[in-house]
């Protein structure tokens, strides 16, 4: 089965998405998500100008060989743009192969390891009471796992708090909006938030929290220890993970589980954290970590060290990524949890899909492939709209981690 054509579709149904569509001489097509929030056009160009000319004429069934061609062949290996482009190609080819085999993708990966995929939602609020109310709303919706993020008293903005409690889109302006940060205020506030949230939801709901790269290792150790009474499912991105040694310091101070990896894009980024058991969940995703082919390798390495998957699933990862991720999550033996932020109705209309949500679990469909398509006519009605992620400064103006 030869690849006869490949096109990049950029659409903006409320936010920008980049989708690669691959066509074959047997009439089968496949799609893959290539969205990199705030840098969408870089991946679109990488695919159009550097990958697609190399795809035409290749055997669509040679998924591994094509992955190796684009990984080794680009010379400048790794990085979010390269690996998101490779991910889109890989996902589209797995979609085609599953369609050719006339089976849902999870069957091709090795069959079900579970019926449903436990997901967590994003509850957020401007203050503690607001956030508790949002968490209870998610509990009523049937979620078993809920992430809680709230405004910090004294700070006019912070990560994870949106105007709309159901949807969260951080890329809110053509040029970066500025958030502000004060670690002392945050460290005083976070334990009070989780004391109230845990008290409100009871002991059986999994609670998660995203620190979003903002603490030093020692501060992260302090925070983890202060949250231990509230038994979090995980604290996420406690400190920038370029310095992976730093996690050893955090581990000395706290048993609060740690999740890292949504900004990682190859197994090389994850290796030391996994092998030294410095994390409990690896957050790598289909769209940013080289697709299904590479994510399987990361999950298999993690399984050796009892590290479980906890893939990123924010709204800036398209339903195409979510669909492929669900088939992966349905198969992967060391599954932990899947992030799931509802897309808007506008987005869902552009990306019809067969996955369903019920009582805190997502269920991959039985359609051959990953079960997601793109309505190209509708997609064309939403032209690209420049948008970038915010930046973050300490209250004295120092540039900080967003």
Ligand X SMILES: O=C(O)[C@@H](O)[C@@H](O)[C@H](O)[C@H](O)CO
Of 7-15, 96-104, 222-230, 311-319, the window that binds ligand X (rule: CB under 6 A) is: 311-319
Is position 370 annotated as part of the catalytic site? Answer: no
95 vs 262, beta carbon nearer Mg ion: 262
Is residue 210 close enough to count as binding ligand X by CB under 6 A? yes
CA distances from 316 to 55, 235, 321, 361 (A): 26, 21, 10, 20
Give the active site residue among 71, 120, 138, 159.
159
Token digits of residue 143 = 């979620």
Is residue 339 close enough to count as binding ligand X by CB under 6 A? yes
| Cα 241 → chain centroid | 16
36 vs 74, beta carbon nearer ligand X: 36
CA distances from 52 to 47, 71, 86, 292, 337 (A): 6, 14, 11, 19, 34
Q: Which of ligand X, Mg ion, none interacts with 389 (beta carbon under 5 to 8 A by kind)?
A: ligand X
Q: How far is the CB of 314 from ligand X (least distance, A)?
A: 4
Return the residues of window 359-398 that contact ligand X according to CB under 6 A. Answer: 389
Is residue 40 close enough to count as binding ligand X by CB under 6 A? no
212 vs 308, beta carbon nearer ligand X: 212
Return the residues of window 259-278 that contact ligand X according to CB under 6 A. Answer: 262
CA distances from 157 to 161, 180, 189 (A): 8, 6, 14
- Identify which of 118, 104, 112 has the alpha carbon closest to the alpha carbon of residue 362: 118
Is residue 254 close enough to count as binding ligand X by CB under 6 A? no
Return the residues of window 243-262 that contact Mg ion according to CB under 5 A. Answer: 262
Q: Give the number of C-alpha atoms closer than 13 A to the C-alpha of residue 172, restricted to the C-beta side.
A: 16
Is residue 37 close enough to count as binding ligand X by CB under 6 A? yes
Is residue 336 close enough to count as binding ligand X by CB under 6 A? no
65 Cβ partners below 8 Å, 6+ apart?
A: none
Is position 363 annotated as part of the catalytic site? Answer: no
Cα–Cα distance measured from residue 324 to residue 364, given in angstroms and rounded to the nearest whole number: 9
Is residue 103 close enough to count as binding ligand X by CB under 6 A? no
28 vs 325, beta carbon nearer Mg ion: 325
Q: Which of Mg ion, ligand X, none interacts with 301 (beta carbon under 5 to 8 A by kind)?
A: none
Considering only 13, 170, 238, 257, the residue that binds ligand X (CB under 6 A) is 170
Contact 366, 354 (CB under 8 A): yes
Of 151-159, 207-215, 288-296, 319-327, the window that binds Mg ion (rule: CB under 5 A) is: 207-215
Is residue 210 close enough to count as binding Mg ion by CB under 5 A? yes
Cα–Cα distance measured from residue 315 to residue 337, given in angstroms and rounded to the nearest whole number: 16
261 Cβ partners below 8 Å, 6+ apart?
A: 241, 269, 270, 273, 279, 281, 282, 283, 284, 289, 310, 312
Give the strand pairing for 29-33 and 117-125. unpaired
Percentages of the chain per state (helix, strand, coil), in multiples of 5: 40, 20, 45
Closest residue to Mg ion, Cβ-based?
210
The residues that are catalytic are 159, 212
Q: Point out which residues bind Mg ion (CB under 5 A).
A: 210, 262
Q: Point out which residues bind ligand X (CB under 6 A).
A: 37, 170, 210, 212, 236, 262, 312, 314, 316, 339, 389
């Amino acid at each position: 089965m030869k690849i006869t054509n490949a096109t990049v579709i950029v659409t903006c149904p409320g936010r920008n998405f980049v989708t690669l569509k691959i066509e074959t001489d047997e009439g089968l097509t496949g799609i893959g998500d290539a969205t990199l929030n705030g840098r969408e056009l870089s991946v679109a160009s990488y695919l159009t100008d550097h990958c697609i000319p190399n795809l035409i004429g290749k055997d669509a069934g040679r998924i591994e060989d094509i992955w190796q061609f684009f990984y080794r062949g680009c010379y400048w290996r790794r990085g979010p743009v390269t690996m998101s482009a490779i991910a889109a190609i890989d996902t589209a080819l797995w979609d085609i192969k599953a369609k050719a085999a006339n089976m849902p993708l999870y069957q091709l990966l090795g069959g079900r390891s579970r019926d449903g995929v436990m997901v967590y939602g994003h509850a957020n609020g401007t203050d503690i009471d607001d956030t508790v109310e949002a968490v209870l709303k998610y509990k009523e919706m049937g979620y078993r796992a809920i992430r809680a993020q709230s405004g910090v008293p004294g700070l006019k903005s912070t990560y994870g708090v949106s105007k709309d409690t159901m949807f969260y889109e951080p890329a809110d302006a053509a040029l970066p909006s500025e958030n502000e940060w004060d670690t002392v205020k945050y460290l005083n506030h976070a334990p009070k938030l989780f004391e109230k949230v845990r008290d409100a939801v009871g002991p059986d709901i999994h609670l998660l929290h995203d620190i979003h790269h903002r603490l030093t290792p020692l501060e992260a150790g302090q925070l983890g220890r202060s949250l231990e009474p509230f038994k979090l499912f995980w604290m996420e991105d406690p400190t920038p993970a370029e310095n992976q040694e730093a996690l050893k310091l955090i581990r000395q101070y706290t048993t609060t589980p740690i999740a890292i990896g949504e900004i990682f894009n190859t197994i090389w980024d994850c290796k030391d954290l996994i092998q030294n058991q410095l994390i409990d969940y690896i957050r790598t995703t289909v769209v940013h970590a080289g697709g299904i082919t590479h994510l399987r390798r990361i999950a298999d390495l993690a399984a050796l060290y009892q590290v479980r998957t906890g893939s990123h699933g924010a709204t800036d990862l398209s339903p195409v990524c979510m669909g492929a991720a669900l088939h992966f999550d349905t198969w992967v033996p060391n599954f932990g949890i899947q992030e799931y932020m509802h897309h808007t109705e506008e987005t869902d209309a552009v990306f019809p899909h067969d996955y369903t949500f019920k009582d805190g679990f997502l269920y991959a469909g039985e359609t051959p492939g990953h079960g997601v398509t793109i309505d190209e006519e509708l997609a064309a009605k939403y032209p690209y709209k420049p948008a970038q992620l915010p930046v973050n400064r300490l209250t004295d103006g120092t540039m900080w981690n967003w």
